[in-house]
Structure 1
Amino acid sequence: MSEPISEAPALFDLAEVFDALPDAWLILDAGARVVAVNRAYLSLVATERAELVGRSIYEVNQTGSVGQRNDRRRWLDGMLEGIAASESRQSPVIRYDMAREGEAHRAPRYWQANATPLRTARGEPLIGLCVHDVTQRMEEEARGQRERAKLRSQARLRQVLVEEANEQLRQQHEQLQHALAFASVGAWELEPHTRTFICNDQFKALLGLPVAATITENRLFDELIDEEYRERVRAAFDEARVAEAPVEVDFRITSPNRRRRWILLRATRTRHGETAGPGAMEATGTGDRIEAAPQAAAPADTRPASLIGLALDISMRKESELEHQANAEAERRARERSEEATRAMDHFVAAVSHELRSPLGAIQSWATLLQRSGDLAHMARAGTVIERNARQLALMVDDLLDSGAIATGKLSIDLAPVDLGALAGNIAEDMRMRIEEKGVRLVADDLNSCIVMADEKRLRQVIWNLMTNALKFCEAGLIEVSVREAGEHAELRVRDTGRGIAPDVVERIFERFYQASDDGQGPRAAGLGLGLWLARSIVRLHGGTIRAQSAGKGLGATFTVQLPRYR
């Protein structure tokens, strides 16, 4: 039987121990909703805790194809359905593709999990899910299988017989053939007069070319080698023409089927008088057979030297090196994110202190004035100031409470039909005086009736935050609010002609605690840095999306909210 989860001794905090576990863990309730997740899992799937907690395990991490998502659902069903209290299950390996750190596209990834029934101290059933990324193991097994198949199918290189009258030349050519067999990959010579490669078939295969293909120096540099490696290979060839020692360079090629391969090329120049001329190494086009033909030797000190060398496929070694580099880069980015989170929290604490101090100071000052003055005019003004600052404090407290509720997955919404156009119009009129007092023009003419299923209070909070944000960064010009239908969605837009947003921080402005000063440009904006984050979180709870657009600094910004229309 699984032991119930009870309170831990005072020596340590169970939640901290769970969060520090090296394996990736999720805790699910009886409805398969995520109730807890540790740091190892968040790092494994590169997501935030708020994206998981409170959501069904069947709904999170939906990045694979439709077929993979269906396989994943069946995979989860096999682990979770009907699991007995005393039973632990291990899942089979499943492929489910997700983008790794630093990769623009999803890469093949493989997963395996163990499901273990748990109970809380009150006897409520839970399921512990330990998830393992077994991609590296599967890739190593696949590579091993490919290598074994390659070794089984590789034919022994045929011995080349040199048919020349001169036995010494035949023996020299036979030694060359043994050396090529030992290299086992590819051999080439760059003929200095025609700039053409004389090579065996394997060298052409490494470059993804048919046996009948002709390889020139220009074709190698301008067509076959991936563009970012061409200059380094050119430099290596130039160095090899004058260097006494061999020169090595690696480069990447991409075949028409988009398969990438890494090649290591080793080149050295021939000394004058040591080569038999341009026809000394001639590919016959049959396997790796190379025939030698006697040529008339040019004067040793007048004939230009050619380059000869070998080419090896180092794709496996290079991929391993790149993987290690990627892991190191991922660790560096993780450290930077941790440091950035610490800085954001410091900024948040400073912002809270500053934002609370201003209204509290005003309230204290006017309260003191009320005590000392009997002037009715002063009393009325004091009441207005105290009420306004108390309302500001209440809004900040509400934002902080909502932030905590969202972070813990406890923010609930009550859905009912709401006219988004009418709601936006009401809020615009409520804010009109405040906006126009700042010298900014408010345009709210294009407010079409669009019915959505929403929590009116929360939706009001979203619109208010967007308009307040626009006013904060708009010193002059206008703020425009519009609502219209966009296919199956209702679309709310709040556009301003204010400071605009730098391209590199457009996505960051929705981060928790992020404020305009975080990019190091200009003074820090007032507020707690929660408004846009709260707006995005509330919109997502309604099944909608929110995005920001800006042409750059000083060119204004547009915030667009899309919500499913009610039918």
Structure 2
Amino acid sequence: MQKRLTETAELFLRLAEPHLILDERFEPILANAAWHACFGGAGAQSPAMPAAVTELAGPHLSLIDSVAGNLRHGKTWRSPVVRLDCATHESPRENAHCWQVVASHISGTDTAAPLVCLRYEDATGRPAIEEVEGRKRACNHARGRLHQQLLAQRAAGNSQFERALDLAGLGAWEIDLHTEEVRCNDQCLRDLGVRAASDIELTHLLIGPEQKGATFPWMESDSCPYERELQVVGAVGTRWILIKGLGYPDQGNALRSVAGITLDITSRKVHELELDALVQNERSARQRSEALARTVDQFVAAVSHELRSPLNAIISWGELLQLATEPTHIARAGEAIRRNGRQLAHMVDDLLDSGALATGKLSMNRQPVDLGALAALVAEDVRKTAQGKGLHLVSSSIAPCRIMGDESRLKQVVWNLLANAIKFTDAGVVELLVTVLEDRAILSVRDTGRGIEPEALPLLFDRFQQIAPQSSGRVGGLGLGLWLAKHIVAGHEGTITAKSEGAGCGATFTVSLPLL
């Protein structure tokens, strides 16, 4: 047991932070080596307090008095940051250190009385936030005391106090509720943006009813001050004024007058509004980032599914092809393999184009091309797919029109629009139109399919977005087709828009390109 006590004492001595132990009467009895090194002189070696304990410096004794007055049993008390000079440096500049003391109880035993432990935290290197806040509180307290002195000094006509009030930037005012007369200094007039006290409205200074002798809500208890922030719009712009007031009752306990101060807090208020805006922007940015992360996750899952389906089909038909002997079975397997291979090729092309577009490397070889003929060829390519779903693909209204464009990229746009129309139309018609309007070539794809909700239209051309009615189940595809189409059309100095009256009402996609 003795060995353990000795080891514990040695550990206490080696603690890096200064520690001071007080007895139950808050008298110092023990300190570790760090405390002696900081406050007891560099030569102090013993952990026990010296006999001349009363020779502790004044700040130490004041700190111990604060501990005695604030520490509660079973609680921990943290002191304000105070300056305590160290004994480890010769330079006065190096002696100046700021400390914060954490006081806590050490429970007693049958043979030992309870103790109090003071742990000294070096606060010299901390940011000066606490000091600034302390100065603000001290400033507000000083201004409050200054206001209380104002009323007495004004009655005596003390001009020196008036000048001090102006130097402090405080406006002073007083309202006689019986006569509704307002008295104030020049600073108050400047704060409220008026030229004379008679121009001040009571609603500027008071919160509550304006009738003479009325009982104000903020005066439910005696000497209860109130404050408000007033926005003043004037020739110099918008300013924020802090108004504080205090009611003074007469002998019948009815309000006789109200007096207070005004203070220009524009800089503080602007800073608060800027911080609020920053917080809101940060919150919005975080929400957008989280939404994008979820979208990317969904995209990865969609890519995995969309690539796996045609790959599985190709593998299955390839295995059947090895066993097939009849020409019809071989032809059917070959067609299925080609169909799924084309589907894979389209998806891989979209992925490659997406990466190229994101890095600004999407190439376009523009040359004269007939948009009508190009659209008709694409319509014939997808006609078999439409017929397989029982849809009627109409492409009779196609006018010839020459534009300057990349033929393969424009085919990609038309194919995406027609493929989407067929995908989201369960029955009815898909119509392809190419017309000329003034100096523009107009390509439209209309369908009688599931339609698009109004709130989904702004998101339609976003990357990784797959928009479909709630009842439509899972949507195939990567969510890149319309996004790619938008950027390809923009690369041809054109526009692409979508229109739908809502779910079940079909949709119309319109591409506008400049004529050659």
TM-score greater than 0.5 by the shorter chain: yes
C-alpha change, 1:490 and 1:207, in structure 2 (3 Å) is farther
Residue matched to 2:485:
535
Describe the superposition over 1:118-159 as per-residue Cα deviations: whole angstroms up to 9, x where unpaired: xxxxxxxxxxxxxxxxxxxxxxxxxxxxxxxxxxxxxxxxxx
CA distance in 2, matches of 1:210, 1:521: 68
C-alpha change, 1:450 and 1:393, in structure 2 (3 Å) is same
Q: 2:361 matched to 1:405?
A: no
SS in structure 2 of the partner of residue 492 of structure 1: strand
Q: 2:222 matched to 1:271?
A: no
Number of equivalences? 358
CA distance in 1, matches of 2:471, 2:181: 56
Residue matched to 1:245:
224
CA distance in 2, matches of 1:404, 1:481: 29
- Displacement of 1:546 in angstroms is 3.1
SS in structure 2 of the partner of residue 469 of structure 1: helix
CA distance in 2, matches of 1:185, 1:312: 5
SS in structure 2 of the partner of residue 559 of structure 1: strand
Please tell me whether the aligned partners of residues 180 and 186 of structure 1 are also in contact (alpha carbons under 8 angstroms): yes
Please tell me whether the aligned partners of residues 182 and 198 of structure 2 are also in contact (alpha carbons under 8 angstroms): no
Please show how residues 120-135 of structure 1 align to structure 2 within 5 Å.
none
CA distance in 1, matches of 2:397, 2:335: 34
SS in structure 2 of the partner of residue 418 of structure 1: strand
Q: 2:410 matched to 1:459?
A: yes
- Displacement of 1:516 in angstroms is 3.4
Please show how residues 108-187 of structure 1 align to structure 2 within 5 Å.
170-171=155-156, 177=162, 181=166, 184=169, 186-187=171-172
Please tell me whether the aligned partners of residues 482 and 492 of structure 1 are also in contact (alpha carbons under 8 angstroms): yes
- Displacement of 1:522 in angstroms is 6.6
Residue matched to 2:262:
311
Decide which moves more: 371-380 or 395-404. Answer: 371-380
Residue matched to 2:60:
none
Residue matched to 1:322:
273
Describe the superposition over 1:508-561 as per-residue Cα deviations: whole angstroms up to 9, x where unpaired: 3333323338x9997442111211121122122223333444555555444343
Describe the superposition over 1:494-516 as per-residue Cα deviations: whole angstroms up to 9, x where unpaired: 34454444555544333332333
Residue matched to 1:385:
336
Describe the superposition over 1:174-197 as per-residue Cα deviations: whole angstroms up to 9, x where unpaired: 688457525535445567679897
- Displacement of 1:563 in angstroms is 2.7
CA distance in 1, matches of 2:172, 2:319: 93
Describe the superposition over 1:79-137 as per-residue Cα deviations: whole angstroms up to 9, x where unpaired: xxxxxxxxxxxxxxxxxxxxxxxxxxxxxxxxxxxxxxxxxxxxxxxxxxxxxxxxxxx
| Corresponding letter in the other structure for 2:249 | H
Describe the superposition over 1:252-287 as per-residue Cα deviations: whole angstroms up to 9, x where unpaired: 455589x4433333233x2222xxxxxxxxxxxxxx
Please show how residues 120-519 of structure 1 align to structure 2 within 5 Å.
170-171=155-156, 177=162, 181=166, 184=169, 186-188=171-173, 206=191, 214=199, 216=201, 239-242=217-220, 244-250=223-229, 252=231, 259-268=237-246, 270-273=247-250, 300-301=251-252, 303-304=254-255, 307-435=258-386, 437-440=388-391, 442=393, 444=395, 447-476=398-427, 478-485=429-436, 489-502=440-453, 505-516=456-467
- Displacement of 1:490 in angstroms is 3.6
The two structures have a TM-score, normalised by structure 2, of 0.57
| Corresponding letter in the other structure for 1:171 | A
Please tell me whether the aligned partners of residues 546 and 559 of structure 1 are also in contact (alpha carbons under 8 angstroms): yes
C-alpha change, 1:245 and 1:213, in structure 2 (3 Å) is closer
Q: 2:490 matched to 1:544?
A: no
CA distance in 2, matches of 1:213, 1:555: 66
Q: 2:515 matched to 1:565?
A: yes
CA distance in 2, matches of 1:218, 1:379: 92
Gaps of 5+ in 1: 1-166, 222-229, 232-236, 274-299
Describe the superposition over 1:222-270 as per-residue Cα deviations: whole angstroms up to 9, x where unpaired: xxxxxxxx99xxxxx965343643233335455589x4433333233x2
RMSD value, Cα: 4.2
SS in structure 2 of the partner of residue 359 of structure 1: helix
C-alpha change, 1:538 and 1:302, in structure 2 (3 Å) is same
C-alpha change, 1:323 and 1:219, in structure 2 (3 Å) is closer
Please tell me whether the aligned partners of residues 263 and 312 of structure 1 are also in contact (alpha carbons under 8 angstroms): yes
Larger Cα-atom Rg = 2
Please tell me whether the aligned partners of residues 196 and 215 of structure 1 are also in contact (alpha carbons under 8 angstroms): no
- Displacement of 1:360 in angstroms is 1.6
- Which of 521, 525, 530 is the matching residue for 2:475? 525
C-alpha change, 1:208 and 1:374, in structure 2 (3 Å) is farther
- Displacement of 1:220 in angstroms is 9.6
CA distance in 2, matches of 1:505, 1:196: 61
Please tell me whether the aligned partners of residues 240 and 265 of structure 2 are also in contact (alpha carbons under 8 angstroms): yes
Choose between structure 1 and 2 for higher RCO, CA contacts under 8 A separated by at least 6 residues: 1
CA distance in 2, matches of 1:487, 1:199: 71
Please tell me whether the aligned partners of residues 515 and 524 of structure 1 are also in contact (alpha carbons under 8 angstroms): no
C-alpha change, 1:357 and 1:245, in structure 2 (3 Å) is same
Residue matched to 2:39:
none
Residue matched to 2:95:
none
C-alpha change, 1:194 and 1:384, in structure 2 (3 Å) is farther
Please tell me whether the aligned partners of residues 195 and 216 of structure 1 are also in contact (alpha carbons under 8 angstroms): no
| Corresponding letter in the other structure for 2:490 | R
C-alpha change, 1:169 and 1:332, in structure 2 (3 Å) is closer
| Corresponding letter in the other structure for 1:248 | E
- Displacement of 1:454 in angstroms is 0.8
CA distance in 2, matches of 1:499, 1:186: 67
SS in structure 2 of the partner of residue 513 of structure 1: coil
Gaps of 5+ in 2: 1-151, 209-214
- Displacement of 1:319 in angstroms is 2.2
SS in structure 1 of the partner of residue 483 of structure 2: helix
- Displacement of 1:307 in angstroms is 4.5
Describe the superposition over 1:26-56 as per-residue Cα deviations: whole angstroms up to 9, x where unpaired: xxxxxxxxxxxxxxxxxxxxxxxxxxxxxxx
